[in-house]
Amino acid sequence: MAKSVTSEKIFAAECRLAFVQLDKPTKIGKNPEEIAKYRVTVLLDPTNAKQAEVIKQIKSEAGRIAKEFWEGTVPKSVELCFGNGDDLDKVYNGFEGMFYVRISTPDLPPIVGRQKHPTTGTFLQLQPGQPGFPYSGCYANVSLTLWTQDSHGRKGINGNLRAVQFVKDGESFRGAAPANPDMEFEALPAAGDESAADTDIFG
């Protein structure tokens, strides 16, 4: 049996994100051998023709790599990372009627905005707190792969996060979209600048 089998690259366009943990790697279990990872859940709408094709590709690739890895004898319930949101024990906000894919990576993935740098022609890595840094509820383009796992007491198909591109704001699952400081504030004079007005903000 091979150590693992990885699927072809899968591209999900303008999908909604949930449970975004991209600011730092985290662990979700109590197993001391678990590796901290960057995580995100991708929500795909089966009624959207393009996203329905992505769902079809995910299921097809999962079946293909499972048969290759387990040499035709595929164990039951191998879908560790994907399924229908309505089938979860708890239907989370935004999951109703959606198809979900949980993906993660131990290494910091490329996280970029909509446009490339005008001079270099390359994308710049977004940092936590910057405008456009992905959050739960926003829309993004996501590159992912699936892989087979038969270790640490887990047997099935898992998802690997390759890259994320912020597309547009959406209502955060925690409330309104995060504030953009460029839209909220104006630049202030440097501290100690004698040209700045010396006033007491409390009147």
CA dist., res. 127 & res. 105, Å (int): 17
What does the pLDDT look like over 67-95, one tens digit per residue? 999 887 777 767 779 999 999 988 888 99
**Which pLDDT band holds residue 146 (cuts at 50, 70, 90)?**
very high
Q: How far is CA 183 from CA 95, 130, 134, 150, 178, in A?
A: 30, 12, 17, 48, 11
Query: pTM of the prediction?
Result: 0.82
- What's the length of the chain? 203
Fold category of 10-28+35-177 in CATH: OB fold (Dihydrolipoamide Acetyltransferase, E2P) (2.40.50)
Structural tokens at position 134: 């992905």
What does the pLDDT look like over 23-78, one tens digit per residue? 999 988 777 778 899 999 999 999 999 999 999 999 999 999 999 998 877 777 67
Domain ranges of the chain: 10-28+35-177
Question: Across the strands, what pairs with 106?
Answer: none
